[in-house]
């Protein structure tokens, strides 16, 4: 399996509002991000995702996080969303999204959950919360997973510790509050985004 974007960092815009979408995604793309999720517990997420897809769909892998139900997958597909990120291992959600041609990054914590997600067709896995498990746990889990499965660390990843997770075998990371907090300015988003992109490039070049 191959992650489908150039930079395997997923920007998580939890809590973003429709009127903020264009500015924040624009600066993320300028910084080098090309995978962005808007969690479904954000206000008016349908409008935000539709705006994102309409404006930036040709430049990035766009979609949703905190996807819990197959009906949400259908709604996302109708909006043109290409990315589904789950907090858990719902095989029904994963299968529906894969059937619709979407990229799925499934949340898991244990080897059992990871293999259940892969059996359902997930193309990538996210270990959440990574800060609670730590890089040593992820390294041990990676040892039993197929080598080509992209694993993302999510939860507590910062520009300072990103390289530790990459050395543990992660392909990349999902970045939440250390990249974007609801209500912050696009200037702060750009500053944080640049820090993460630099950290990733420093660790992989």
Q: Which residues are catalytic?
A: 37, 126
- Signed CA dihedral, 31, 36, 39, 43: sign only: positive
Phi, psi of 196 (to 5 degrees): -70, -40
Give the residue from 35, 101, 103 showing the smallest Cα distance to 67.
103
Helix, strand, coil percentages (3-state) for the chain, rounded to 5, are 45, 15, 40
Give the residue from 63, 56, 6, 58 showing the smallest Cα distance to 26.
56
User: How many other C-beta atoms lie within 10 A of the C-beta of residue 168?
Assistant: 20
């Amino acid at each position: 399996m191959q992650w489908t974007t150039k930079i395997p960092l997923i920007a998580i815009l939890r809590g973003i509002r429709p009127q903020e979408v264009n500015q924040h995604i624009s600066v993320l793309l300028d910084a080098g991000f090309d995978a962005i999720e808007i969690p479904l517990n954000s206000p008016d997420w349908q409008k935000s995702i539709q705006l994102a897809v309409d404006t930036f769909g040709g430049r990035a892998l766009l979609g949703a996080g905190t996807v819990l139900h197959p009906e949400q997958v259908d709604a996302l597909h109708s909006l043109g969303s290409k990315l589904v990120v789950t907090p858990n291992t719902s095989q029904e959600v994963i299968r529906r999204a894969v059937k619709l041609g979407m990229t799925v990054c499934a949340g898991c914590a244990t080897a059992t959950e990871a293999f259940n997600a892969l059996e359902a067709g997930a193309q990538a896995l996210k270990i959440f919360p990574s800060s609670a498990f730590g890089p040593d746990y992820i390294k041990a889990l990676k040892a039993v997973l197929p080598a080509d499965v992209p694993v993302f660390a999510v939860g507590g990843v910062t520009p300072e510790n990103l390289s530790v997770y990459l050395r543990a075998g992660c392909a990349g990371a999902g970045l939440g509050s250390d990249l974007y907090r609801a209500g912050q300015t696009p200037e702060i988003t750009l500053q944080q985004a640049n820090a993460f992109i630099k950290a990733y490039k420093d660790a992989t070049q």
